[in-house]
Each structure stands twice: as C-alpha cells, then as structure tokens.
Amino acid sequence: MSDTQFDLIVIGAGPGGYVAAIRAAQLGLKTAVVESTHLGGICLNWGCIPTKALLSGAELAHQLKNSQRFGFQIDQVNFDMNALVQHSRQVSAQLVQGVTHLLKKNQVTVFTATAKFKAKGQLELTDAAGQTQQITAAHIIVATGAKAANLPQLPVDGHYVWNYQQALVPTRLPKSLLVVGSGAIGSEFASLYQDLGCQVTLVDIAKQILPSEDLEVANYMQKQFEQRGMRVLTEAALNSIVIENGLVSCEIQTAKGIETIQVEHVLSAVGVKANFAELGLDALGIETEAGFIKIDPWCKTNVAGVYAIGDVAGAPCLAHKASHEAMLCVEKIAGVKTVHALDRTQIPGCIFTHPQVASIGLTEQKAKAAGYHLSIGKFPFQANGKALARGAAEGFVKTIINSETGELLGAHLVGHEVTEHIQGFAIAKYLEATDESLSQVIFPHPTLSEAMHESILAAMQRAIHV
C-alpha cells in the first residue's frame, strides 16, 4: 500500500476525529487524518478546554468574594484578564501537543490540508500553499464538527460583536456584555463574565434559559444568575443593533414591548451549524437532514464506505458524544463483535456555569409527555454536610424514576462540581440499575455525592435528611 492509500481516512482531528484515528490504528488499520488548522479541533483549541480554564478563574473570583465566611479579610484584589487568557491558551497548547504525540505514537499519518470528495473512496487534499494531492481509502469518516451560527441582525465583526472565539481572548474585561442565546455556550460565558465583574444581560427567545434542561433546573439557574446581579430576559428577541459612540445599542423585543440596551460588547451564542460546505458531499450524493449529515445508528451515511461522527452528524453537539461515536464507528468497521450502537438516552450533558448543571436521560416534562408514571426524588445541597462545610450549598439533585418498574429515567443536578457526579448516574443508567438497587449502594460520608443517594431515597418516600 502506497503513502497515499489507506484503510481508513478521518477528515477532522477534533475529539471525534483523532479518537477515531487512534482507535483504527490500534485495530491494525493503516490510518490517516486530515486536519486543516488545529489538531484537537474546536474543543481543545476554542471550546470546552479553554472555556473551562477561564471558568476556573471565575470560580476563584467567586470564592474571593465570599472569603469572609472562612475568616479571610481581603481588602484589594487586582485582576489581570490577559494573565487568565494566557493560562487558558497554555492549557490548550499543552493538550494539542499531547494529541500530536498520540497520533505519532500510534503511527497515524497526519495531513495538514483541507479535504474534498472527488469520487468514492477518493479525496483531494489542498495545503496552505495551494498544492494538491489525491489520497484513497476504503473507509472515510467525516468528523469536521460544527461552527458558530449567526443571526442576520447580529453580524459578528470580532470587535463589538463577538462569537465564542473572541470571547475567549479579550484584551480586557468589558464593563458590560449582552449575551444572545442561553444554551450551554451562552450561559457559561454569561456566568464567567458576571463572576469576573462584568455586568451581563442574558437574552433568549425561548420561554426558559437552558432550553434543553429540566424546567425546574432552568428556573433555579435563572434565579441564581439574577441573585448575582445578572439580568435575564426570556421570550425576548434581538431586533437590531447600532454601533455608536463606542457602544452597541441593542433593540430587544420583550413581552412588555421594545427595550434598548447599551453595552460594550455583544456575544452571539445562538447555536452551531454543521461544517461540511467545502467537502463536496454532492459529488457522492451524501444525504443531509436538518442541516447535518444523515447517519444510521452505526454512523454510516447513505453512501457505502462513508461515515460521519460528532457535531457534523447532529445533536447533541458534545465532545464526549463525538468520541464515543468515533469508537463505535471504527470498531464496527473493523468487525469488533462486542460493539453497541449509540443510545442517545445514555449521553450525559454538562454545563459549567456557577453553579454547575449536569443531566442525563429524560426531563420531568419529557417523561410525562411520554406517558410514564413517575416517582420524583429531590434532595437539596442545603441539607448536605459537605456542601455546607464548603460554603457551596446552592442546588439540588433530582431523580426521575419509572414508578412501575423502578427504572432511572433521568437525573438532573445543580450545584458545586456536579459535572463530576453525573457519571455515577450514567453508570447506573447504563447498567439498568433500579431505584431499589441504587438505594442499597453505600455512599461515603461526608461527600457531596450523598445527595445523589438521598434523591433516590426521596423518590421512594424514604429520604432520611429532608
């Protein structure tokens, strides 16, 4: 096999693409990955990793504001936005170096270029200098991710109007910021900038913030944001913007009428769209649906030998979902007998606001709509000793149980580091644990995780501490 012929080629080296390439190499397939810009994709370079580095700074800022309860008197704190941004970029760079090492270690060939389908099993690559070459493979996985969607009335100029990339590398902390869109991205940035000292207004056209989350969770988070000084407008639409005198004047349609808000910057966080416009999918007749590449449960497209994983193949647009699809897709290609198709009800979601939000499975609203008879358990962190000791008693754990079978249908958490706890419910759900079996699990004391146990007990009318 020549240097341009492979068993498998992956287009894109994000958390879906590089994982697919490494797993394919482990399984003995001669593998190449094509990446036009950064190994690690949006996640490592401009998404989940650098935002979490910035949010760590915001968490420290929150702790400093509340240091008196632990006996510390801090009269003056100087904050350098550039230093925090530099920290986030260093974290990203370190992880990208790690991906580079892993691909080399597994003998994956890396092409720094853009790719376009020319025929079945054939790609044309174009590098930064405009040089082209052809490479071929029996199997090609599209893992090109997604990019920020834009509103026509909110053109991103990179200065006054940001997308997530500009929001990650500000040269200074703005005094005021309007965030349009309250999904995970918008809410994380709103929480981040509010904690750092910026006056934030969060706007969404939906009836609730965090539209994908349980209604009780969304309402609680809105109250938390507002208690910290953030202004939240739901069922509100941005009509237009005008840039004047160094500020952005924003006309917003609310239920009460039209309101004008002036801010230093506006962040557009209205969602993402699949990134495949330049791939030449039409040349092969690859089908799309609702703006994403259409796939079956094994990530196959309608064209034999072509697959799609991660954000480019549709919601939920999560890095861990992309990595899981990468593994199952490659293992199916290689003929691994134990591989299972993706069950989307098993995908946990994490939102790194303050406090954090984590969930898996059905919301209460969707479970009721599906006709289930429910037992719902809820336990507040206000009744958890570890949470009180740490000064982080905001939030609760909510579990949704099928009252007829004891099946865990969903779990929804708000609170300190709940993104680290949701894996417990993910394991329980995957192993088909029931409320009765979970009630018998011994949770260590004193821990935040005890709230998970108490929530299950509450659903069974057996809670001890509430």
43 φ/ψ sector (left φ>0, alpha ψ -120 to 50, else beta): alpha
**Can you tell me the distance from the alpha carbon of 14 to that of 17, in angstroms, rounded to the nearest whole number?**
5
Cα(374)–Cα(359) distance, rounded to whole angstroms? Answer: 17
Residues designated catalytic? 445
276, 144 Cβ separation under 8 angstroms: yes
Cα 123 to Cα 251: distance, rounded to the nearest angstrom: 47
Domain co-membership, 123 together with 142: yes
Question: What mean pLDDT is reported for the chain?
Answer: 95
Q: What is the pTM of this model?
A: 0.94
Tally of domains in the chain: 3
Q: Are residues 142 and 280 in the same domain?
A: yes
* Mean pLDDT score, 282-294: 95
Q: What is the pLDDT of residue 1?
A: 54
Determine, yes or no, domain membership for 155.
no
Residue 153 in domain: no
Establish if 230 belongs to a structural domain: yes
119 and 16 within one domain: yes
Among residues 306, 337, 311, the alpha carbon closest in space to that of 323 is found at: 311
Domain that holds residue 446: 355-459
Question: Would you give the DSSP letter of residue 100?
Answer: H
φ/ψ (deg, to 5) at 342: -70, 130
- What SS3 class is residue 273? strand
DSSP string, 358-397: EEEE--HHHHHHTT--EEEEEEEGGG-HHHHHHT----EE
> Does one domain contain both 112 and 243?
no
Quick one: pLDDT at residue 27? 98
Tell me, yes or no, whether 124 lies in a domain: yes
- For residues 322 and 362, membership in a common domain is answered with no
Final residue in a domain of this structure, among 282, 314, 344: 344
185-231 tens-digit pLDDT? 999 999 999 999 999 999 999 999 999 999 999 999 999 999 999 99
At residue 77, the pLDDT reads 86
Residue 96 is part of a domain; what is its CATH number? 3.50.50.60
Q: For residue 439, what is the domain's CATH number? A: 3.30.390.30
Query: Domain for residue 48, yes or no?
Result: yes
Last residue of a domain, one of 247, 270, 293: 270
Asked whether residue 144 falls in the same domain as residue 229, the answer is: no
- Report, as an integer, the average pLDDT of 337-351: 95
Distance, CA of 410 to CA of 374 (rounded, Å)? 11
Question: Does 104 lie in the same domain as 185?
Answer: no
Residues 44 and 132 occupy one common structural domain: yes
Q: Which two tokens stand for residue 63?
A: 């702790």
Q: Are residues 42 and 120 in the same domain?
A: yes
Same domain, 315 and 266: no
Q: Which bin fits 280, alpha (ψ -120 to 50), beta or left (φ > 0)?
A: left
18 is written with which tokens? 């590089």
Give the model's pLDDT for residue 2. 63
Which residue among 322, 344, 366 closes a domain? 344
The C-alpha angle with vertex 76 and arms to 73 and 77, in degrees rounded to 5, equals 105
Does 166 lie in the same domain as 135?
Answer: no
Tokens encoding 293: 């590449």
pLDDT in tens, 78-131: 899 999 999 999 999 999 999 999 999 999 999 999 999 999 999 999 999 999
466 found inside a domain: no
Percent of the chain with pLDDT over 90: 92
Q: Could you say which DSSP state residue 69 is in? A: G
In a domain, 154, yes or no: no
* Percent of the chain at pLDDT exceeding 70: 100
Assigned token pair, 103: 């691909």
pLDDT for the residue numbered 78 = 87
Whether residue 371 is found in the same domain as residue 329: no
